[in-house]
Amino acid sequence: MRFVIIGGSDAGISAALRAHELDSAVHITVLLADSFPNYSICGLPFYLSGETPDWRKLAHRTEFEGIEILAEHSAQSFDPSGKTVSAIDAAGHEKAIRYDQLLIATGARPVIPPISGIDLPGVFPLHTMADSFRVNDYLAQREPRSAVIVGAGYIGLEMADAFTHRGSAVTLIEQSSTVLPTVDPRFGRMVEETLRSHGVRVESATEVHKIVQNGDRLQVFGARGLEVSAELVLVAVGVAPNTAVATSASLQTGIKGALCVNRRMETSIPGVFAAGDCVETWHRLLSGYTYLPLGTTSHKQGRVAGENAVGGSREFEGSLGTQVVKVFELAFARTGLREAEARKAGFQPFTSESTHFDHKAYYPGAQELCISITGDTVTGSLLGAQALGHWQAGVAKRIDVFATALFHDMKVEALNDLDLSYTPPLGSPWDPVQMAAQAWNQRRQQGCVAG
């Protein structure tokens, strides 16, 4: 049997490795549009900051025993009736590659907003290894002392940190009311305070209209009279599913144009699987599909697809949207639903925010953690959580506890029964997760009494 995979990033390589692990006799071929299989796109900001100076270290894996990697092979289309993929190699030669089972793992593409001048020299997207090399070469050759970042999501924030780390004065522009538009505005404002404390100029609620070349500088113009001059402009306003190859065979698409799949990661055509940022994602809490492109999700979906392609019967268990980002000394994380999202989904949510030390206050170095819990007032079920604090204060650990609780449909009160670790330098007898749960229950009861 021949298993052909279009795309060699998180989902594609995870599928290849799982299929080979289960059946080493299967001929596995990965068509890679570039020369960088299984590289961490999430690590690009840290390469560009200079904190990870060797880009080769971004590779999750460099050995692929039993897997054929065809680098510089761009898939153009596929024929389900003839079971062939048409690809063009680096020399421009077209090839027809036969398959028995096919996986489409083409990922996402950066959204390029309709901004006049976005194609000027010195204006860059950041999504691929090639993008990062272009930005890094520009940084090395020009040594820009100023940069504008359009978009204040996770990549935008990390790049504000990266450019500041390299000595550039940074202006961060976001059209939503605060940075990190997918979190509660209060947390977004707290992140903005940290950015400003490090010299980053933050312009939220501002849409960029045009970019103009002015000598060796770029002028960025936007709403509310915004005008900023910089030597480099980075555009990072989000991604969209990369489905050009898939739609050549009329595969069914859904939310935001992402490929429709079932939980076995099967598409609308038998024998054709899809996984990663090009597909819809089953949301475990909503019991429905959404578009939620995340590296962690891509790895899991790819593993499921790879297993099923060689005869398995596994289902993707779903995502909760668990995410974490580091911005200077701050870390922010979230999982599950925010209150507005929960209400839209038909729950009756209540949110409580509380602040606790990450470990016993009498041990030096204690840091405050701000934790927000959203739960259902009727059932008491946990619906979501957000956490913000110093990046060494265990923010990610705490959100992972909430994510695990959500995965197993736990009540907020049941968090208090968890047997969590404790020693004064690292925690408390009641972990901040549990103290936040107690605060939620207390305030929920007070609200019921008051009502």
Q: What is the pLDDT of residue 247?
A: 83
What are the two backbone dihedrals, phi and then psi, of residue 402, each rounded to the nearest 5 degrees? -60, -40
Contacts made by residues 83-89, CB under 8 angstroms, sequence distance 24+: 83/271, 85/4, 85/6, 85/31, 87/31
Spell out where 90-207 has E strands.
94-98, 101-104, 108-110, 123-125, 146-150, 169-173, 201-203
Q: Note whether 227 and 245 are same-domain residues.
A: no
The CATH number for 159's domain is: 3.50.50.60
pLDDT tens string 200-230: 999 999 999 999 999 999 999 999 999 999 9
Q: What is the pLDDT of residue 450?
A: 47
Q: Note whether 392 and 352 are same-domain residues.
A: yes
What are the two backbone dihedrals, phi and then psi, of residue 232, each rounded to the nearest 5 degrees? -145, 140
In a domain, 178, yes or no: yes
Q: Note whether 98 and 243 are same-domain residues.
A: yes
Q: Note whether 354 and 267 are same-domain residues.
A: no
Q: What is the pLDDT of residue 448?
A: 58
List of the chain residues with pLDDT < 50: 449-451
Using the 3D structure, point to which of 190, 206, 235 is the last residue of a domain. 235
**CA 21/CA 355 separation, integer angstroms:** 46
Task: Name, in order, each residue with C-beta under 8 angstroms of 223's C-beta and a sequence gap of 6 or more.
Answer: 205, 206, 207, 209
Q: Note whether 61 and 136 are same-domain residues.
A: no
Q: Note whether 227 and 257 are same-domain residues.
A: no
In a domain, 204, yes or no: yes
Q: Note whether 356 and 332 are same-domain residues.
A: yes
pLDDT tens string 224-269: 999 999 999 999 999 999 999 998 888 999 999 999 999 999 999 9
Specify whether the CB–CB gap between 177 and 204 falls below 8 A.
yes
Q: Note whether 104 and 129 are same-domain residues.
A: no
What are the two backbone dihedrals, phi and then psi, of residue 423, each rounded to the nearest 5 degrees? -155, 140
In a domain, 154, yes or no: yes
DSSP code at position 185: H
Q: Note whether 13 and 156 are same-domain residues.
A: no
Q: Note whether 80 and 105 are same-domain residues.
A: yes
Q: What is the pLDDT of residue 451?
A: 43
What total of structural domains would you count in the chain? 3
Residue among 225, 168, 244, 177 at smallest CA distance from 201: 168
Using the 3D structure, point to which of 214, 235, 256 is the last residue of a domain. 235
Q: What is the pLDDT of residue 449?
A: 42
Q: Note whether 305 and 263 are same-domain residues.
A: yes
Q: Note whether 11 and 69 are same-domain residues.
A: yes
- Give me the domain span that covers residue 185: 123-235
Residue among 194, 173, 136 at smallest CA distance from 326: 194
Q: Which tokens is 74 given? A: 């761009």
